Homo-oligomer: A and B are copies of this chain.
Amino acid sequence: MEALQAGELTERLRAGLPYDAVLTDPDITAAYANDMASFCEAGVPAVVVMPRTVEHVQHVMRTATELQVPVVPQGARTGLSGAANASDGCIVLSLVRMDRILEIDPVNRIAVVEPGVVNAVLSRAVAEKGLYYPPDPSSWEECTIGGNIGTGSGGLCCVKYGVTAEYVLGLDVVLADGRLMHTGRRTAKGVAGYDLTRLFVGSEGSLGIVVRAVLALKPTPPPQLALVAEFPSTATACTAVCAIMEGGHVPSLLELMDRTTIRAVNDMANMGLPETTEALLLAAFDTADPAADLAALGKLCTVAGATAVVPAEDATESEMLLQARRLSLTALERMGGTTMIDDVAVPRSELGAMLDGVAAIAAKYGLTIGVCAHAGDGNTHPVVCFDSSDPDESRRARESFDEIMELGLRLGGTITGEHGVGVLKKEWLARELGPVGVEMQRAIKSAFDPLGILNPGKLF
């Protein structure tokens, strides 16, 4: 009976899709079961479809609605919250073959893209025309714009340039029943009706399938120049962060690495970071006179207690410093067998309390937790390292991960700054939103997806 249904589903899908767009071999479809998050349940997909056109996606959604089969949209599956994990018997809707850049328009400073375009491909293509697409998640060489929109991704640039949401002007969306809806605009401004564009950003594929996006671009800024500042404690580093932001500075990057992270990066890549320091701040400016701006920022670091402030001489040196930061997550992942990456953002004035709290949690549970942070945003990534073959250590890892979110909420923060909710944090979303918030969010979900077929089991 179940096999018969799967056969019918495949047949119905094939009626409107090219043969090679419907994958049913279980060895292949199994590879589409999950994204990069730990501790997230994942089911077995019935079928994986890889549409190339809007009409293909419409056919998939019409079929899914008729047969009431769940649909899990996927990009590059680099997400960290299980939002792209398959559910049993679902259609995995992979959008990676819809990967065309349809338009880059320097006068209007927009790009029009399909969802499967890789972030780095777009970034390079617009750079050739003197334009800049800021959002730069760590996975930018692999992750897709559609995935970035689904999760509301951030990156290193956010302290100056904001997150993905701020660059999405308009969308074409295929609704649950296969109808096509246009949202937003191609213009710089527009307030015609409710902002459905923004509603879709961060909705993790639970409201509809984004099949086209109008993105805002900025002119290419001057090359950024970076400095590194060494601190004897995380507290002094966080004091510097507050002083920098209170002082009216607008760095293009303001990152923090704790001692665990520094050592992990050195172990992996022999970067020669100063292991005796307790925290590093990495700052950069992409202004007209970055050296002058760095000098002013460096002074604030020194006043806050930095033991050394080392500005890069040029763009190449700057890039090396940033490389150390970019390796942080990978390096921490190599330390323990398994890692869970948290993503708690707090008001930046609470960054010191957050880091102290994480250290206390690590001690309490007897675990290594390295922290790197988009410090200027107050967005921390505590990385819990553990041996997943040890049940007790796994339990402690999960508990410490949760306690970190609880700490973040207590400090006036949010459980997720840029990674999303997915499966991993859905119990916590309810705690953050409260019952009225959850009820209204569910009401919106029901309005767009009355049958509950769009990425079920995520967010709520």
Q: Are B152 and A193 in contact (CB under 8 A)?
A: no
Tell me the chain A residues, 329-357 only, with Cβ under 8 Å from chain B.
345-349
Chain B CB count within 10 A is highest, among A166, A189, A190, A429, for A189
> Chain B interface: which of A52-60, A255-263, A375-383?
A375-383
Closest 10 CB pairs of A and B: A219-B248, A152-B191, A443-B447, A198-B198, A190-B414, A188-B377, A189-B417, A187-B345, A191-B202, A107-B349
Residues on B with beta carbons closer than 8 Å to the beta carbon of A363: none
Partner of A194, one of B347, B349, B425, B441: B441
Residues on B with beta carbons closer than 8 Å to the beta carbon of A416: 190-192
- Can you identify 10 A-B contacts, CB atoms within 8 angstroms? A110-B347, A187-B377, A188-B378, A189-B378, A189-B418, A191-B416, A191-B417, A192-B421, A193-B202, A443-B448
**Distance, CA A446 to CA B158, complexed state (A):** 35
**Distance, CA A349 to CA B219, complexed state (A):** 16
A102 at the interface (CB under 8 A from B): no
Fill in one digit per residue for A176-195: 1 if any B CB lies within 8 Å of its CB, else 0: 00011111011111111111
Tell me the chain A residues, 393-432 only, with Cβ under 8 Å from chain B.
412-421, 425, 429, 432
Q: Are B194 and A376 in contact (CB under 8 A)?
A: no
Chain B CB count within 10 A is highest, among A105, A182, A194, A196, for A194
**Distance, CA A374 to CA B187, complexed state (A):** 12
Q: Are A196 and B441 in contact (CB under 8 A)?
A: yes
Partner of A220, one of B219, B248, B346, B414: B248
Residues on B with beta carbons closer than 8 Å to the beta carbon of A320: none
A288 at the interface (CB under 8 A from B): yes
**Distance, CA A425 to CA B158, complexed state (A):** 36
Residues on B with beta carbons closer than 8 Å to the beta carbon of A444: 194, 196, 444, 447
**Distance, CA A345 to CA B440, complexed state (A):** 32
Residues on B with beta carbons closer than 8 Å to the beta carbon of A349: 105, 107-108
A269 at the interface (CB under 8 A from B): no
Q: Are A249 and B219 in contact (CB under 8 A)?
A: yes
A203 at the interface (CB under 8 A from B): yes
**Distance, CA A346 to CA B190, complexed state (A):** 9
Q: Are B441 and A195 in contact (CB under 8 A)?
A: no
A106 at the interface (CB under 8 A from B): yes
Partner of A199, one of B195, B288, B345, B421: B195
A141 at the interface (CB under 8 A from B): no
Q: Are B151 and A191 in contact (CB under 8 A)?
A: yes
Q: Are B107 and A440 in contact (CB under 8 A)?
A: no
Q: Are A412 and B186 in contact (CB under 8 A)?
A: yes
Q: Are B106 and A180 in contact (CB under 8 A)?
A: no
A9 at the interface (CB under 8 A from B): no
A192 and B419 in contact, given A377-B187, A440-B181 (Cβ under 8 angstroms): no
Fill in one digit per residue for A40-76: 1 if any B CB lies within 8 Å of its CB, else 0: 0000000000000000000000000000000000000
A308 at the interface (CB under 8 A from B): no
Q: Are B182 and A348 in contact (CB under 8 A)?
A: no
A201 at the interface (CB under 8 A from B): yes
Tell me the chain A residues, 212-233 only, with Cβ under 8 Å from chain B.
218-220
A391 at the interface (CB under 8 A from B): no
A245 at the interface (CB under 8 A from B): yes
Tell me the chain A residues, 80-114 only, with Cβ under 8 Å from chain B.
105-110
Fill in one digit per residue for A126-157: 1 if any B CB lies within 8 Å of its CB, else 0: 00001000000000000000000001101000
Could you tell me the distance in whole angstroms from the C-beta of A396 to the nearest C-beta in chain B? 25
Residues on B with beta carbons closer than 8 Å to the beta carbon of A106: 245-246
Residues on B with beta carbons closer than 8 Å to the beta carbon of A376: 188
**Distance, CA A155 to CA B447, complexed state (A):** 34
**Distance, CA A182 to CA B165, complexed state (A):** 20
Residues on B with beta carbons closer than 8 Å to the beta carbon of A152: 191
A429 and B151 in contact, given A107-B242, A199-B199, A447-B447 (Cβ under 8 angstroms): no
Q: Are B345 and A193 in contact (CB under 8 A)?
A: no
Q: Name which residue of chain B comes closest to A434, CB basis.
A: B182
Fill in one digit per residue for A358-381: 1 if any B CB lies within 8 Å of its CB, else 0: 000000000000000010111100
